Structure 1
Amino acid sequence: MNKSQKIAQCFSPAAFIHDTEENYQANERLIVEQEIGGLTFFHSRHSAAANFEKRAETLDVSGTFEKLIQLINRYQRLSKIPLLISIDGEYGLAMRVEKTPQYPFAITLGALKKDAEKWVEEVGYRMGLDMRRSGIHLNLAPCADVNTNPNNPVIGYRSFGDQAEKVAKLAFAAYSGMKKAGIEACLKHFPGHGDTAVDSHLGLPILHKTKAELEAEELLPFQYGIDRGVEMIMVGHLAVPALTGGKDIPASISRELINDLLKGEMGFKGLVISDALNMKAVANLYPEPGELEWQAFHAGNDILCFSDHVKEGIEKIAQNASEEEVDSVFEKVMDLKKRLGVMESKQIEVPSFDWEIHSQLQKDLAENYVSVISGEINPSELQALAEAGKLGYREFFTQNQSIFSKQLKLNFVPVEQAEKFILAVFVPSHKPLNQFGMNQAELDEIKELADSKPCILVHFGNPLALKHFGKMEGFEAVMCGYQGFEEVQGVVTKLFS
Structure 2
Amino acid sequence: MNLNQKIAQCFSPAAFIHDTEENYQAIEKLILEQEIGGLTFFHSRHSAAANFEKRAEVLDVSGTLEKMIALINRYQAISKTPLLISIDGEYGLAMRIEKTPQYPFAITLGAIKENATELIEEAGYRIGLDMKAAGIHLNLAPCSDVNTNPNNPVIGYRSFGTDPKQVAENSLAMYRGMKKAGIGACLKHFPGHGDTQVDSHLGLPVIQKTKEELEKEELLPFQVGIDQGIEMIMVGHLAAPALSSGKEIAASISREIITDLLKTEMGFQGLVISDALNMKAVANLFPEPGQLEWKAFHAGNDILCFSDHVKEGIEKIAENASEDEIEAVFDKIWKLKEKLGVLNFKKLEVQTFNWESHSAFQSKLAKEYVSIVSGKIDTVELRKLSGEGKLALQSFYDKEKSVFLQKLYQKFASELSSNSIEKAEKVIISLFVPSHKPLNKFGMDQETLAGIKSLAQAKSCILVHFGNPLALKHLGDLNEFEAVICGYQAFEEAQEVASFF
TM bracket, shorter-chain basis: over 0.9
Which residue of 2 is the match for residue 478 of structure 1? Answer: 484
Which residue of 2 is the match for residue 186 of structure 1? Answer: 186
Which residue of 2 is the match for residue 195 of structure 1? Answer: 195
In the alignment, the residues of structure 2 paired with residue 241 and residue 256 of structure 1 have an alpha-carbon distance, to the nearest angstrom, of 10
Contact 1:56–1:431 (8 Å) recurs in 2:
no
Which residue of 2 is the match for residue 443 of structure 1? Answer: 449
Residue 127 of structure 2 corresponds to residue 127 of structure 1: yes
Which secondary structure does the structure 2 equivalent of 1:393 belong to? strand
Which secondary structure does the structure 1 equivalent of 2:422 belong to? helix
Contact 1:250–1:282 (8 Å) recurs in 2:
yes
In the alignment, the residues of structure 2 paired with residue 52 and residue 110 of structure 1 have an alpha-carbon distance, to the nearest angstrom, of 23
In the alignment, the residues of structure 2 paired with residue 304 and residue 368 of structure 1 have an alpha-carbon distance, to the nearest angstrom, of 38
Residue 479 of structure 2 corresponds to residue 463 of structure 1: no
Which residue of 1 is the match for residue 169 of structure 2? Answer: 169
Q: CA deviation at 1:55?
A: 7.7
Contact 1:89–1:141 (8 Å) recurs in 2:
yes
Which residue of 2 is the match for residue 14 of structure 1? Answer: 14
Alpha-carbon distance change, 53 to 115 in structure 1, aligned in 2, over 3 angstroms: closer
In the alignment, the residues of structure 2 paired with residue 330 and residue 60 of structure 1 have an alpha-carbon distance, to the nearest angstrom, of 39
Contact 1:51–1:201 (8 Å) recurs in 2:
no
Contact 1:47–1:57 (8 Å) recurs in 2:
no
Contact 1:56–1:433 (8 Å) recurs in 2:
no
Give runs of aligned pairs for residues 304-453 of structure 1, distance below 5 A. 304-409=304-409, 410=412, 411-412=415-416, 413-453=419-459
1:491 alignment partner AA: V
Which residue of 2 is the match for residue 43 of structure 1? Answer: 43
Which secondary structure does the structure 1 equivalent of 2:363 belong to? helix
1:436 alignment partner AA: F
Alpha-carbon distance change, 4 to 57 in structure 1, aligned in 2, over 3 angstroms: farther
Contact 1:366–1:488 (8 Å) recurs in 2:
yes
Contact 1:372–1:477 (8 Å) recurs in 2:
yes
In the alignment, the residues of structure 2 paired with residue 175 and residue 36 of structure 1 have an alpha-carbon distance, to the nearest angstrom, of 26
Q: CA deviation at 1:231?
A: 0.1
Contact 1:204–1:282 (8 Å) recurs in 2:
yes
Alpha-carbon distance change, 58 to 344 in structure 1, aligned in 2, over 3 angstroms: farther
1:468 alignment partner AA: H
For this pair of structures, how many residues does the alignment match?
Answer: 495
Deviations 1:333-385 (A, max 9, x none): 00000000000011000011000000000000000110000000111111100
In the alignment, the residues of structure 1 paired with residue 469 and residue 272 of structure 2 have an alpha-carbon distance, to the nearest angstrom, of 32
In the alignment, the residues of structure 2 paired with residue 55 and residue 239 of structure 1 have an alpha-carbon distance, to the nearest angstrom, of 29
Q: CA deviation at 1:309?
A: 0.4
Q: Which runs of 5+ in 1 are unaligned?
A: none
Q: CA deviation at 1:51?
A: 3.5
Which secondary structure does the structure 2 equivalent of 1:198 belong to? coil
Which residue of 2 is the match for residue 249 of structure 1? Answer: 249
In the alignment, the residues of structure 1 paired with residue 52 and residue 20 of structure 2 have an alpha-carbon distance, to the nearest angstrom, of 21
2:485 alignment partner AA: M
Alpha-carbon distance change, 415 to 454 in structure 1, aligned in 2, over 3 angstroms: same
Which secondary structure does the structure 2 equivalent of 1:479 belong to? strand
Q: CA deviation at 1:437?
A: 1.1
Which secondary structure does the structure 1 equivalent of 2:286 belong to? coil
Which residue of 2 is the match for residue 489 of structure 1? Answer: 495
Which secondary structure does the structure 2 equivalent of 1:392 belong to? strand
Which secondary structure does the structure 2 equivalent of 1:416 belong to? coil
Which residue of 2 is the match for residue 81 of structure 1? Answer: 81
Which secondary structure does the structure 1 equivalent of 2:47 belong to? helix
Q: CA deviation at 1:52?
A: 8.8
Q: CA deviation at 1:471?
A: 1.3
Which secondary structure does the structure 2 equivalent of 1:28 belong to? helix
In the alignment, the residues of structure 2 paired with residue 373 and residue 293 of structure 1 have an alpha-carbon distance, to the nearest angstrom, of 47
Q: CA deviation at 1:493?
A: 1.1
Deviations 1:394-451 (A, max 9, x none): 0001122111101112243112111110000001111111111111111111111001
Which residue of 2 is the match for residue 289 of structure 1? Answer: 289
In the alignment, the residues of structure 2 paired with residue 378 and residue 79 of structure 1 have an alpha-carbon distance, to the nearest angstrom, of 64
Contact 2:50–2:201 (8 Å) recurs in 1:
no
Contact 1:50–1:57 (8 Å) recurs in 2:
no
1:469 alignment partner AA: L
In the alignment, the residues of structure 1 paired with residue 130 and residue 464 of structure 2 have an alpha-carbon distance, to the nearest angstrom, of 32
2:135 alignment partner AA: G
1:394 alignment partner AA: Q
Deviations 1:9-66 (A, max 9, x none): 0000000000000000000000000000000000000001544998885622111010
In the alignment, the residues of structure 2 paired with residue 59 and residue 50 of structure 1 have an alpha-carbon distance, to the nearest angstrom, of 15
Contact 1:141–1:187 (8 Å) recurs in 2:
yes
Moved over 3 A (4+): 49-58
In the alignment, the residues of structure 1 paired with residue 309 and residue 115 of structure 2 have an alpha-carbon distance, to the nearest angstrom, of 45
Contact 1:105–1:158 (8 Å) recurs in 2:
yes
In the alignment, the residues of structure 1 paired with residue 307 and residue 332 of structure 2 have an alpha-carbon distance, to the nearest angstrom, of 19
Which residue of 2 is the match for residue 261 of structure 1? Answer: 261
TM-score (norm. length: structure 2): 0.98
In the alignment, the residues of structure 2 paired with residue 255 and residue 438 of structure 1 have an alpha-carbon distance, to the nearest angstrom, of 42
Which residue of 2 is the match for residue 231 of structure 1? Answer: 231
Alpha-carbon distance change, 231 to 58 in structure 1, aligned in 2, over 3 angstroms: farther
In the alignment, the residues of structure 1 paired with residue 385 and residue 98 of structure 2 have an alpha-carbon distance, to the nearest angstrom, of 42
Q: Which moved more, 1:93-102 or 1:405-414?
A: 405-414
Contact 2:50–2:202 (8 Å) recurs in 1:
no
In the alignment, the residues of structure 2 paired with residue 60 and residue 430 of structure 1 have an alpha-carbon distance, to the nearest angstrom, of 19
